[in-house]
Amino acid sequence: MKFIDEALIRVEAGDGGNGCVSFRREKYIPKGGPDGGDGGDGGDVYLIADENLNTLIDYRFEKRYAAGRGENGRSAGCTGHRGNDITLRVPVGTRAIDNDTQEVIGDLTKHGMKMLVAKGGYHGLGNTRFKSSVNRAPRQKTNGTPGEKRDLLLELMLLADVGMLGLPNAGKSTFIRSVSAAKPKVADYPFTTLVPSLGVARVGSDRSFVVADIPGLIEGAADGAGLGIRFLKHLERCRILIHLVDIMPIDESDPADNVAIIESELFKYSEKLAEKPTWLVFNKIDTMSEEEAQERAKEIVARLGWEGDYYLISAATGQNVPALTRDIMDFIEANPREVEEENKEADEVKFKWDDYHQEAMQNAIEEDDWDDFDDDWSEEDEEGVEFVYTNR
């Protein structure tokens, strides 16, 4: 299946139903008073995380998703039916962004997490809501408010513990193959890896971590060179970054300069990402003697002024790889992932009053037409109309 990590869709919540103007008319009750019901609330649009999905390809072609409109109110105090909600399933790790304002609405980082992305309109009020001691036959109502409409950018960011960084052909995919059962493509030309991939590295029988491999970066990636930096977002949720460096590049480039290039591009993309714990790993030490590899690594580290951890491995032969994976596992266990507060669903409210409704009612009372008194009031009527409300 093709890997799609971005999709632009339009979500439209349902409009609220309009209120009803109606009066009770029954035999022997010619002036029974107002009985127009409220409209129904518009349907909402939700996103829910599904661990069985791993791509946004379902949203690549179908772009518009609309919830149901609330029904209008009816006579006899009948409230309109609420519009039907719609729930869109997305992979775990999906981030929802308002494409117009670039506001991050939320992240779905756990299976089953549910997030509201478009709120349905509030219901309109029927004329029963406007009755008062001086207005026995109100002819006012309010219309339902429009539902929210958003152009929603969905971004899938892989959930991994370890992220791999490096130039093309540094050996990232070979490393993934050596520590996990994943089989990314490996070849002797640049940009063999075109899409991100995940691998589960097991350390012993009951310890494991997830590694994310992304396409290699080159100088100018922040400006769009190569595959650009569009895949760096998949490293944002990693707890540690492994910067893989070819200790003896076949193109005779300087490894220290190669490290500086990656650090520069990473900083241009995100200062927060550049500040994540990063380990320097020199790969392909099988191409030289162990002493030469040690001396060369010390020289590069000294030139860089590198103060963090660094390792020497050969992903192709597996040399020193088990020790590296054990240290990574220990680091991950010592630095658990920060627990993100789950989105809380708002409690359902039977009647939702907003400023629109309150303002509409206030205006209706102030602008009331006194001619309405004739509809159900007479000076000869000493007691007026008695209203009795019963539960149905």
Q: Which residues are documented as binding site for GTP? A: 166-173, 191-195, 213-216, 283-286, 314-316
| Count of alpha carbons within 13 angstroms of residue 21, beta-carbon side | 7
* CB count in 10 Å sphere of residue 11: 24
Q: Is the dihedral of CA 95, 98, 99, 104 positive or negative?
A: negative
Nearest to 215 by CA among 199, 230, 237, 236: 230
Q: Which residues define the annotated binding site for Mg(2+)?
A: 173, 193
Exposed e or buried b per residue across 116-136, where buried means at least 16 C-beta atoms within 10 angstroms of its C-beta = bbbbbbbbbbbbbbbbeeebb
Q: Measured between alpha carbons, how far is 184 from 195 in angstroms, rounded to an integer?
A: 10
Q: Which residues define the annotated binding site?
A: 166-173, 191-195, 213-216, 283-286, 314-316
Q: Measured between alpha carbons, how far is 81 from 2 in angstroms, rounded to an integer?
A: 41
Residue 61's contacts (CB-CB under 8 Å, 6 or more residues apart) are none
Q: How far is CA 320 from CA 70, 129, 179, 247, 315, in A?
A: 64, 77, 11, 15, 9
Q: Measured between alpha carbons, how far is 117 from 48 in angstroms, rounded to an integer?
A: 10
* CB count in 10 Å sphere of residue 207: 14
Nearest-5° angle of CA 43, CA 46, CA 51? 150
Whether residue 18 contacts residue 72, with contact meaning beta carbons closer than 8 Å, is answered with: yes
The residues with which 294 forms a beta bridge, in sequence order, are none
